[in-house]
Amino acid sequence: MGNRFVIQEHTTPEGVHWDLMIEKGGVLTTFRLSQSPENACNHAIEAVRIFDHALRFLTYEGPVQKGTGKVRIVERGACRVLDENEGSMTLDLQGTLLQGHFTLTWLEADRWEFTPQPQRPG
């Protein structure tokens, strides 16, 4: 399948969010998800595009720099970018929880939406 993806649960003093990291071009293109990956299986969730991360974060768990909390991996697997343009990216994810096609759609500024795509009958 090629590339990999990971979702880290990031616990901070302000609360919890999830970082979706997609291996692409030698870095991890990263989106902060407002809800857990389990919720992404059933409905669209808000995603915020943040800075790219180094590939080492595919396996990293532990404290985050500058005392901004800790991370643990809650989902991982293989990833293939099926389609990409300026306003969207369609992915084929093969993880433990997330399996199938998902689309990241740009809304405005750094705001995106992460949406599961219905499975087509085979």
Q: DSSP assignment of 53-93, as one string?
A: E-GGGGT--EEPGGG--EEEEEEEEEEEEEEEETTEEEEEE
Strand-pair partners of 75: 7
pLDDT, tens only, 60-98 = 999 988 778 999 999 999 999 999 998 999 999 999 999
pLDDT, tens only, 20-56 = 999 999 999 999 999 999 999 889 999 999 999 999 9
- If you search the block for the tokens 């669209």, which residue do you land on? 44
pTM value is 0.93
